A and B are shown apart, each in its own frame.
Chain A
């Protein structure tokens, strides 16, 4: 059995080396370092998966802590980076996912003990649907966010007829970045919807009502509405390029606000820092 305590440090170390190799590889335009970054990210994912399967759940006897939440999110971000890498044959989103995973993983270390108690009856479906669907959706959104930022920068330069120099020349073509955006958004929205609906359903037995006016609920519904506009226009009105990229940036920033500010600062049923 691998306990989370002894697997955390090697995973963190692997993730750091993967992030450094990927970033240095991109900046120095070294194919070898970029590949190394990619394969180390694969190793990080395997290590994280082992942690989750063999011991991570044991660290959460009382429910879900912010630390565990962040580590799960890190795992999903990397998973989505790997999916996009295999699907679109582009390593750049994965090389961006590795440092984000590192950041989330490093942040998680200080919050592993602060757990939110959950009724025992809701633990399994809660993990499987609400958290699973939302985290997969957030992981995909993280990848879409990086692809959108890259798209807006590179497309802006092409449109304004400015040269791209140095390592920017190695970045994916803008059509591929838009394809990444489309793939992630079209997959993430149904998952996000599933996560929200399952949350509303379980809110009733746990908190007494589906909608209680909780800040997390309000922010999540606002995000869902904006997300729905993007999903609809991508699918029905064939939105491509700048508009969906800007929407993704906005949605992901709102998600970050929801995770970082709402969950920690506001008085909500989703607060992680409560005893």
Chain B
């Protein structure tokens, strides 16, 4: 292969956040952070720089990896030796496999998260805008996007919530369906409860109420969510109107008990209630879950769901890896086909050249001739050249399909037909 694919990078597994920050490359086209000028051995390049990874993908000849590292270190005002302990280098099909895995979120910190695909698309767009990509990287990145789509549709690697707050929202949807026309009450002001409330708002919840022992803090939080602050002692009264209750107070004893809810249910005509208790110690009496039309999930229940979902994603990742391997093989065939292409073109040109030379010689010998005869001769010579080239071309194409021995077949054909014009 004349030009090969290289990938150098570091990620959340190989480097801590301080190192990732130090070697982050902000923007491919930013002159100050110009990391990979397409010169020397490098033909094409893309830089992917996110909070969890910095990766440089390039095609080129010679010591491409060394050149990439050098550019990268220089751009960040460091030496290669500073980078060395944290990096990984992949070449050829390993680089292809890696980029497919990254696009499919199989290499992400949170397996199956969708953000990385968007980041990779942005990185590719920037590289295209800088004219830093060519035939191979264009094809590779488009293929990576296709693989990511296949993985998402054919496996469940991206399904189900893997964070406590999302798990709570998913459960709320299973109970209430459409989130519109439902009201949320935040009791206390824990960080995770706020996150869950924010997700519920994103999902179209109608109204948010905040009840906090410190009313001013409650007001502050209510403003943040465009909701209403209510005095803590009005809690039971409010329970008759809200449907989802998220609690995270620091109270030592439960603030909501089953006996309170029995009366509340009667007032609210048994409309379902969903309690999410994120506090430790718990804010809600566990007996509440035994009541009809009341659902209670505490932090351990939600954690368990998240753990199960993560385990499920890990199982699905094995299916996804099979898809990635399949697509790597397809890409490898395309790459080797690319290797044989110059030789095929050279063979065809050589055949055409020989045909033209022989036609000219023959016509000189004939002397005066009819244009019809010239056309007939040209057609015959062209057909001969094409037929003569057919078998060697098929031989090369078979080589690219089988992959093994592809370069040996190319060398053999180049030698037999003396394509490189080596005088013997």
Contact surface of A with B, Cβ cutoff 8 Å: 154, 158-159, 161, 163-165, 169, 172-176, 178, 238-243
A35 to B270, CA, bound (A): 34
A185 → B minimal CB distance (Å): 15
At the interface, yes or no: B63 with Cβ under 8 Å from chain A? Answer: no
Assess whether A174 is in contact with B175, with CB atoms less than 8 Å apart: yes
Q: Convert B169-191 into 0s and 1s, putting 1 for each residue whose CB lies closer than 8 angstroms to a CB of A.
A: 00101111110000000000000
A159 to B178, CA, bound (A): 20
Which of B174, B270, B309 has a CB less than 8 Å from the CB of A158? B174
15 contacting pairs across A/B (C-beta < 8 A): A154-B174, A158-B295, A161-B297, A161-B305, A164-B174, A165-B312, A174-B272, A175-B175, A175-B176, A176-B177, A239-B270, A240-B269, A240-B271, A241-B272, A242-B292
Assess whether B175 is in contact with A241, with CB atoms less than 8 Å apart: no
Q: A161-B297, A161-B304, A238-B270 are in contact. List 10 more A-B contacts (CB 8 A).
A: A158-B295, A161-B305, A173-B174, A173-B176, A173-B177, A173-B178, A175-B272, A178-B272, A241-B272, A241-B292
A163 to B177, CA, bound (A): 17
A240 touching B295 in the complex, CB below 8 Å, given contacts A172-B177, A173-B175: no
List the B side residues contacting A242 at CB < 8 Å: 292
At the interface, yes or no: B4 with Cβ under 8 Å from chain A? Answer: no
List the A side residues contacting B159 at CB < 8 Å: 169
A250 to B178, CA, bound (A): 30
Assess whether B175 is in contact with A158, with CB atoms less than 8 Å apart: yes
Task: Name the residue of chain B whose CB is nearest to the CB of A164.
Answer: B174
- With most chain B CB atoms within 10 A of its CB, the pick from A164, A172, A175, A242 is A175
Assess whether A161 is in contact with B301, with CB atoms less than 8 Å apart: yes
A240 touching B174 in the complex, CB below 8 Å, given contacts A159-B295, A161-B297: no
A174 touching B174 in the complex, CB below 8 Å, given contacts A240-B270, A241-B272: yes
List the B side residues contacting A176 at CB < 8 Å: 177
List the A side residues contacting B92 at CB < 8 Å: none
Assess whether B272 is in contact with A240, with CB atoms less than 8 Å apart: yes
B21 → A minimal CB distance (Å): 37
B312 → A minimal CB distance (Å): 8
Assess whether B176 is in contact with A158, with CB atoms less than 8 Å apart: no
A163 to B303, CA, bound (A): 12
Going nearest first, the 5 A-B pairs with the smallest beta carbon separation are: A173-B177, A238-B269, A240-B270, A241-B293, A238-B270
At the interface, yes or no: B82 with Cβ under 8 Å from chain A? Answer: no
A163 touching B175 in the complex, CB below 8 Å, given contacts A240-B270, A241-B272: no
A176 to B179, CA, bound (A): 12
Assess whether B305 is in contact with A163, with CB atoms less than 8 Å apart: yes
A163 touching B176 in the complex, CB below 8 Å, given contacts A239-B270, A240-B271: no
At the interface, yes or no: B289 with Cβ under 8 Å from chain A? Answer: yes
Q: Convert B227-252 into 0s and 1s, putting 1 for each residue whose CB lies closer than 8 angstroms to a CB of A.
A: 00000000000000000000000000
A185 to B419, CA, bound (A): 85
A243 to B292, CA, bound (A): 9
At the interface, yes or no: B308 with Cβ under 8 Å from chain A? Answer: yes
Task: Name the residue of chain A whose CB is nearest to the CB of B298.
Answer: A161
Contact surface of B with A, Cβ cutoff 8 Å: 159, 171, 173-178, 269-272, 289, 292-293, 295, 297, 301, 304-305, 308-309, 312
List the A side residues contacting B175 at CB < 8 Å: 158, 173-175
Task: Name the residue of chain A whose CB is nearest to the CB of B176.
Answer: A175
A163 touching B289 in the complex, CB below 8 Å, given contacts A158-B171, A173-B176, A174-B272: no
B64 → A minimal CB distance (Å): 44
A201 → B minimal CB distance (Å): 36
A241 to B174, CA, bound (A): 14
A159 touching B305 in the complex, CB below 8 Å, given contacts A164-B174, A173-B176, A174-B272: no
A181 → B minimal CB distance (Å): 13
A236 → B minimal CB distance (Å): 11
A161 to B295, CA, bound (A): 9
List the B side residues contacting A174 at CB < 8 Å: 174-175, 272
Assess whether B173 is in contact with A159, with CB atoms less than 8 Å apart: no
A253 → B minimal CB distance (Å): 22
A272 to B289, CA, bound (A): 49
A186 to B274, CA, bound (A): 26
List the A side residues contacting B272 at CB < 8 Å: 174-175, 178, 240-241
A241 to B265, CA, bound (A): 12
A52 to B246, CA, bound (A): 55
Task: Name the residue of chain A whose CB is nearest to the CB of B304.
Answer: A161
Assess whether B289 is in contact with A159, with CB atoms less than 8 Å apart: yes
List the B side residues contacting A158 at CB < 8 Å: 171, 174-175, 295
List the A side residues contacting B289 at CB < 8 Å: 159
A247 → B minimal CB distance (Å): 13
A243 to B297, CA, bound (A): 22
A175 to B178, CA, bound (A): 10
A19 to B304, CA, bound (A): 37
A173 to B305, CA, bound (A): 18
A165 to B316, CA, bound (A): 13
Task: Name the residue of chain B whose CB is nearest to the CB of A166.
Answer: B156
List the A side residues contacting B304 at CB < 8 Å: 161
A173 to B175, CA, bound (A): 5
A243 to B171, CA, bound (A): 22
List the A side residues contacting B292 at CB < 8 Å: 240-243
A199 to B305, CA, bound (A): 54
List the A side residues contacting B301 at CB < 8 Å: 161
List the A side residues contacting B177 at CB < 8 Å: 172-173, 175-176
A176 to B175, CA, bound (A): 9
A165 → B minimal CB distance (Å): 8
A27 → B minimal CB distance (Å): 14
A262 to B271, CA, bound (A): 38
Task: Name the residue of chain A whose CB is nearest to the CB of B243.
Answer: A175
A158 to B265, CA, bound (A): 19
Task: Name the residue of chain B whose CB is nearest to the CB of A241.
Answer: B293
A175 to B173, CA, bound (A): 10
A172 to B312, CA, bound (A): 22
Assess whether B297 is in contact with A173, with CB atoms less than 8 Å apart: no
A27 to B163, CA, bound (A): 27
A241 touching B171 in the complex, CB below 8 Å, given contacts A159-B295, A175-B176: no
A173 touching B173 in the complex, CB below 8 Å, given contacts A161-B301, A241-B270: yes
A77 → B minimal CB distance (Å): 24
List the B side residues contacting A239 at CB < 8 Å: 270
List the A side residues contacting B295 at CB < 8 Å: 158-159
